[in-house]
Amino acid sequence: GNRPRLDSTTDGTRWTPCRRVANDRFVLLSREDEGFIKEEEKPLPSNENQRKVWLLFEYPESSQAARVVAIISVFVILLSIVIFCLETLPEFKHYKVFNTTTNGTKIEEDEVPDITDPFFLIETICIIWFTFELSVRFLACPNKLNFFRDVMNIIDIIAIIPYFITLATVVAEEEDTLNLPKAPVSPQDKSTNQAMSLAILRVIRLVRVFRIFKLSRHSKGLQILGRTLKASMRELGLLIFFLFI
C-alpha cells in the first residue's frame, strides 16, 4: 500500500506529464531535423459554409468527403500527365500534307490538335476539373492576397494556361478554314508566321510539365524534396558550375 505511483517520484512529484512534454518536444525537433515540414497554423474562413468548402478542398484529412476530393484530384492529375506523354508518341501524332511548287508534297507535324481528337477531349475534361477546383479554392480561401502568394496556387494557374492558349489556336484555325475574304499574304510571310506559331505552341506544350508539381500538394514526400532542393540551390549551382568546366 506504500508503493509509490509509477507516474511520480519518491517525494510524490509527478514526472509522466513532464516526460511526455519533453518527448513531444524531442520528436518535434527530430522531425524537423529529418526534413519533415513543420505544420503551421493557417487561418480558416470565418464564414461556416466557406470554412467547410475550404476544408473540403484544402485539407484531405479533415473528412471522408475531403479524401474523396483529393483522390479525384490526384487521378485527374495523373490522367493529364499520361495523356501528355502519349501525345509525344509517333503513332499518336498528327501530320499535315502540303503541296509544294516543285510538284511534290511536304509532310509536317501538326501542332494544333483536332477538336474531335480523343486526347483533346480528355484534356478538356481534366482542365474543367482543374479550373473548377482552383476557382472554388479561390472563392473559399480566407485571404485572397495570400492565395496568389502561394507557390502551389501559381503552379495550378500555370498548369491550365497552355490549354486555353491552345484552344484559342484551334478556334483561330477553324476560322481560317472558312471562306472569308482575307488580305493577300506572301508565301514567305506565311511560312514565317507558321514557324513562329509552331514554336510558341511547342513551348506552351512544354509548360504542361508543371502539372507534375501539382502532385506535391497531395504528397508530403514531394514537398520535402522541394524544400531540400530549395535549401541546396547554392551547392547544386556549384556542382553544375564544376560540370561545365
Residue 107 zone, left/alpha/beta (φ > 0; ψ -120 to 50; rest): beta
Q: Where are the chain's structural domains?
A: 47-174+187-219
3-state SS of 173-206 is HHHHCCCCCCCCCCHHHHHHHHHHHHHHHHHHHH
Would you state the pLDDT for residue 241? Answer: 84
Mean pLDDT, residues 16-26? 43
- Select the more confidently predicted residue: 225 or 176: 225
Contacts 24+ apart (CB under 8 A), 197-206: 197/111, 197/169, 198/111, 201/111, 201/112, 201/166, 201/169, 202/111, 204/162, 204/165, 204/166, 205/84, 205/111, 205/162, 205/166
Mean pLDDT, the chain, rounded, equals 74
Give the C-alpha separation, 48 to 209, whole Å.
Answer: 36
181 phi-psi bin (left φ>0, alpha ψ -120 to 50, beta other): beta
Residue 130 has a pLDDT of 93
Q: What is the pLDDT, as a whole number, of residue 178?
A: 61
Q: What is the pTM (predicted TM-score) of this model?
A: 0.65
Q: Write the CATH number of the domain with boundaries 47-174+187-219.
A: 1.20.120.350
Q: pLDDT grade, residue 71 (50/70/90)?
A: very high
- What is the percentage of the chain residues whose pLDDT exceeds 90? 15
* Residue of 126, 94, 98, 125 whose CA lies nearest to 110: 94
Task: Please give the single-letter amino acid code of residue 153.
Answer: N
Helix (H) or strand (E) holding 26: helix 16-33
The dihedral sign for the CA sequence 160, 152, 222, 39:
negative
